[in-house]
A and B are shown apart, each in its own frame.
Chain A
Amino acid sequence: MGSRGRDADALMPLVTECADRLSKAMFPRYTCRLFEINASEDSIEVCGTELVLRGQSIKEHLEGCQKCVLLCATLSAGADKLIRQLEAADMAMAFVTDCLASSVIETVCDEAEQEMRSRLPKSYFTWRFSPGYGDLPLDLQGTFLNVLEAQKRIGLNVTESGMLVPAKSVTAVIGVSDRPIARAKQGCVGCNMYNDCKFRKGGDHCGS
């Protein structure tokens, strides 16, 4: 919300009310599956599917991994609708709710990731890498969602320009290995916001 860690007490009543509304309107869902992967020179093939992950960034991300988890999660159309309705009635609330929703969807992904981790106790995981990061193209969203049957299972769609609908949704690839992974943590350098990040400019980081 632009507070960047500064004292924002005056905002708290508004935030609490928005959080309450959001929790009633949303219906978080996720689905994820484990696949074997097959690396070639400039891409990673997700075995048994039509999905090929292209680009240098995803190759680096999955280096040393034998498998990957494809994950998608959404807060549901209800969250989008609430934000849209608030935009017409009270823009400040809409903005706060939008920020909250962006944060909650990460929590839903954490939950999905946790389930996977508990099912694969002796494996090592990378952080979550999403289409659009680095040079992993956004136009694979359609195939990505088809592979997970995301439309049917969690109601997640993609527009022709590669946007997820509902908007408060995430798709991500997690590398899985039977050995410890060197680059298991995401740093600022790999982030899309690197040049423009307000946290970094303030000598801070966003925490992810």
Chain B
Amino acid sequence: MSFKIESFDAETVVVTIGKTLDFRNADEFKNACQEQVDSGRQNFILDFSDTGILDSTGLGSIFSLYRKVSPSNGQVVFASISRPVQVVVQLTRTYKVFRQFPSVSAAAEALSTAAQA
């Protein structure tokens, strides 16, 4: 299992991406997230602190997750973005879709505040 998934609350999980999210483990990421969606999670905090490669297929798997949760107002946010991942975010301008936070705790706080509003 490449991805560590921890519950933050009933609706939110933190997914630690690890070294890579690429064509080799994108399906595994999709399946792991689908299990969470099936069990009622709508908000995903993706922790990129240790990630050296996010490739186009990996990004596509995140798009897939976003397409699943966004109709029910679920969110996918990026936390602790490493410099290699920041390059991809800038090149694809996905900061327009995925909010970015300096840390997992900052992302969790923002999602928690949004849920209470």
The answer to whether A and B belong to the same complex is: no
Q: Residues of B at under 8 Å CB distance from A? A: none
